[in-house]
Structure 1
């Protein structure tokens, strides 16, 4: 896998990615909705017209009831008008739903694209600390919840709200006194909704976080299945899963309790206006304060509001879930750091320096201690040492994946962490023994290194990493991965290196990048890479010492410090740590 350098995050204590505030969620939702003013206005207009058509039938029925005592001469005409209004309402409603769905899909598509951009802009150190569970749950569960809210809850809520406003307006036009019974439910609904909303956001955020923790634990168990089996720690992983499930169950149960309190109160409350309008309206009629037609129409109007009020209450829960999910999706942006435009920045020669660099994975246990190192432009430097000496840690700091806890890493005199993200990724690339083949064609996988690369450059990159022999057989348009061509680990590593050749970074850090290739083939591959990357600064973190012999200089590490620095011949003549490592390696090869 080729990993471009990125900004680190100074705090190592965060477990999950940030969550956006309520104000940020509301601001973003408003901005995204108003981004399509014509579509929004059209959808609302259609819904308003459909609701207005729905107001005609109750008024006509009220008139029919009042006229029934004087005969039913106009009953047929009234019935025809009612049928026409219902048919017109159905037609308008169909167009309105289609317009709302189309607008919802546009909004959702834009949100998904922005979220993908934010995820891809995340510093690798942030991704590693957050863990797979948090990101997976945000990209799956939260996106699905938000999709449901955008597709259903938001348009249904707007439709219901518009219908309620128009219907109550019609009641007021019938007679202001007839509108008073409708207010009976307001205190109950207001109190219950306020109680629910004050608790729902925190409850759903906690439920989503618990699901992320559960996903993280299961992912670790699946990916480390062989280790779990080898160390016989299945019972520990099982206990971890049980605890995560218990936490998720408790969080889900809390939100369920909120709904079981809120919904029954609401269901009761929105029936009250119907009863109140019927009773009080009857009294108005008996005292000559309202006509029979007006009372009948008012009761039917209030009855007509039950469905949209019920829909609003039902969708309120979906909106809360969607709001919590949107807060988690927007929170990703808070971890991406600055996204300055690097186009005006002039590239220097590529001088990379570490000044007094220190780093700790755990407090009080330094992995690096006061490392000073200068890598000259175009130089090939090998970093060697025993396992645990700090080689890979130093490589990750030089790539900007983690910021040092003390000291600083500079490129051309500028602190690496202060460079815009795109510039950092263009300046320094880290290639490890980890790699990933994406589903798609070989051409698609290569284009990740440079999207504008033509076929000739892709072939040249594959030849440079000794991969054209097998790549030429399958072809650039062959599909890779499940259902296609399955690459071996060595071939996948060659593909990652070919992407790197196309990306053409100024500083390249190789951390056991050829470890999965046969030793003899690896040496040829490294020499081919050296020829292709001539003029580029190359830092090779090496366990195979022949890599160090081919380097301009060798840095030898012990216990997080550089203890020797010089050419291969100079260090052999010194007779120190490097000479000892070389002697052991030579003896192993002879054996």
Structure 2
């Protein structure tokens, strides 16, 4: 850590945590295009906000003009100052300003909320349209962090920064315009201070966004180190890791405080520059105006009005700088949210469709990284109505092969077909009509139990919903609920157990009624006896369907028509349970180890 932390940002520490994203981050061009479209979508609301704000600002300028006129009359020695009229006009202007300032805040808040809602909706719609393979590879963590953490970071910017920045720009522009109309020479005062403000802000904004991001990351690293130490306290004590954990925490705190000092240094430079700018503007107005008044080129009343308008510039300039800084930080979150727009959705060929139900893989190669294959020249056939089990050691490629057969991934080489139609060329929606994937991740959405089931088939009647629940042995606990199908589940509702959530997912599968299924440890969250019972119940429901089951519990393989043993990305054995046990190969060894 550099000792000159007050002057330069902390040196990069290679041991510090790095953030990595698998979904893209929007390019500046993408962000600009989205912001432009968002502003165009809300141009009417922006126009109303600008108009209301203009009225409020003009009303606020009435006071300085009245005072300037009063000073002029006093300088001319007038005895009738028309004070009642002046006070009446000032009071009326103050009332108008109060009403319209309230309207500005209301319109600004409404605009911010509408834009934030649009941003959330746009992100959700685009996320749902992403290719399934992209989401499978990226996982849900990055996607969820964007729609939660990044949305939260943007919330204040959208609710406050955009409307307030608009207000500040209109406010400052009208004040400068008023200053120019009142006494054009006094407008030169703004030009005198402008270079100082521009140079100071340019210096600050080139450093601040990255510094604040690093400061936030440093705090997160401190919190993570402390939480890990507390959670694993017994392990730390057992392995005598206390000193090492304390040293790690000290290092993280030192890194975080270094960034804190650096951002404080940035502010300690910017704020004096802003204060000096304000003082320079006012001093220049008084000096230039004084010279003009002494030479008879300007009235003292115009100087008074100009000085007051110049003083009023302090607040809008502060608003602009404050919220522009906020937008610089929010821009990072916005880039992450709109980054999904850089992913082209898979359109597919609408003319491509299956002519039959046979599933085939021919010389398939696939890998998650360039040049590293997980599957190597895999070929297989699954006849309609066949129950096939994929077994093998962990990491052999079973789940990857299952996702290829379900059309989630497209092979790097070779072909995966359904009824002769290549899955990678079919539209995703058409693939889902024929093939369904049920994996170990099961989701319960906020809403009623009925709503969760209707996701699979929106027009299903209650009798069909109960039949689907009964098919997966879930009707018992479901009928025991106080409100039955109307019971609220998910966050804020009834907390379902992992096993119950799995049963709901399988009930949705029954309702969806696809003819080909890929089950990837679909009963893994149930205890062995319950899983066995559920699989027997499902066997009756799945009668006549093509099923590819990926399982570590070999009783699933025992019940299958065909078993494929996957080892190191290749199918090494293929046959029935009895044939493979008799062959004495890899499957026989697995079966013996399963039964002890």
**How would you bin the TM-score normalised by the shorter chain?**
0.7 to 0.9
CA contact (8 A) 1:449 1:499 kept: yes
Deviates more, 1:304-313 or 1:23-32: 23-32
Partner of 2:327 in structure 1? 319
1:111 aligns with 2:114: no
- TM (norm. structure 1) is 0.84
Query: What does 1:176-575 align with in structure 2 at a 5 Å threshold?
Result: 176-203=184-211, 254-334=262-342, 336-340=343-347, 346-359=353-366, 367-401=374-408, 404=411, 407=414, 409-412=416-419, 416-417=423-424, 419-474=426-481, 475-480=484-489, 485-572=494-581, 574-575=583-584
State how far apart, in whole Å, the 2-side matches of 1:574 and 1:147 are: 63
Q: Which has the higher contact order (CA 8 A, sep 6+)?
A: 1
Q: Which whole-Å deviations, capped at 9, do the CAs of 1:452-481 have from their partners, x for residues lacking one?
A: 433222212111112112211112122335
Aligned with residue 168 of structure 2, among 133, 146, 160: 160
**Other-structure match for 1:74:** 82
Please say if residues 142 and 326 of structure 1, whose CA atoms lie closer than 8 Å, have aligned partners that are also in contact. Answer: yes
**Are residues 33 and 453 of structure 1, via their aligned partners in 2, closer, same or farther at CA, if it must alter by over 3 Å?**
farther
Change (3 A) 1:33 1:289: same
| Residues 290-337 of structure 1: per-residue CA shift (max 9 Å, x gap) | 111111111111111111111111222112122222112112333x54
1:60 matched to 2:66: yes
- Secondary structure in 2 matching 1:18: coil
Distance 2:200 2:496 in 1: 59
1:14/1:130 contact within 8 Å kept: no
Equivalent residue number for residue 154 of structure 2: 146
1:567 Cα offset (Å): 3.1
Residues 279 and 422 (structure 1 numbering): CA distance in 2 closer, same or farther, change over 3 Å? farther
Give, in whole Å, the separation in 1 of the partners of 2:302 and 2:202. Answer: 34
Q: Distance in 2 between matches of 1:239 and 1:362?
A: 36
Contact kept, 8 Å, 1:204 with 1:324, in 2: the verdict is no
Partner in structure 1 of residue 15 of structure 2? none
Query: What residue in structure 2 maps to residue 30 of structure 1?
Result: 36
Aligned-pair distance for 1:367? Answer: 4.5
CA distance in 2, matches of 1:204, 1:356: 51
Higher mean C-alpha deviation, range 182-191 or range 427-436:
427-436
1:437 counterpart SS class: coil
Distance in 2, matches of 1:221 and 1:400, equals 43
Contact 2:349 2:425 in 1 (8 A): no
Shift in alpha-carbon separation, 1:240–1:447, aligned structure 2, 3 A:
farther
CA distance in 2, matches of 1:388, 1:507: 24
Superposed CA deviations along residues 249-286 of structure 1, whole A, max 9, x for unmatched, are: 66666555444433331232133111100111011010
Q: Could you give the per-residue CA deviations for residues 330-358 of structure 1, whole angstroms, max 9, x where no partner exists?
A: 12333x54153887764553443333334
**SS across alignment from 2:391:** strand
Q: Residue 195 of structure 1: SS of its match in structure 2? A: helix
Distance in 1, matches of 2:404 and 2:47, equals 52
Distance 2:430 2:84 in 1: 77
In the alignment, the residues of structure 1 paired with residue 186 and residue 592 of structure 2 have an alpha-carbon distance, to the nearest angstrom, of 100
| Alpha-carbon contact 2:438-2:520 (below 8 Å) kept | yes
Contact 1:136 1:215 (8 Å CA) reproduced? no
Residues 513 and 309 (structure 1), Cα distance of their counterparts in 2 relative to 1, 3 Å cut: same
> How big is each residue's C-alpha offset from its partner over 1:203-246, in whole Å with a ceiling of 9 and x where there is no partner?
45556677788899899999x97997999798788888777776
- The number of equivalent residue pairs is 573
SS of aligned partner of 1:355: strand
> Deviations 1:77-125 (Å, cap 9, x if unpaired)?
1122111111111111212221221121111111112223344445666
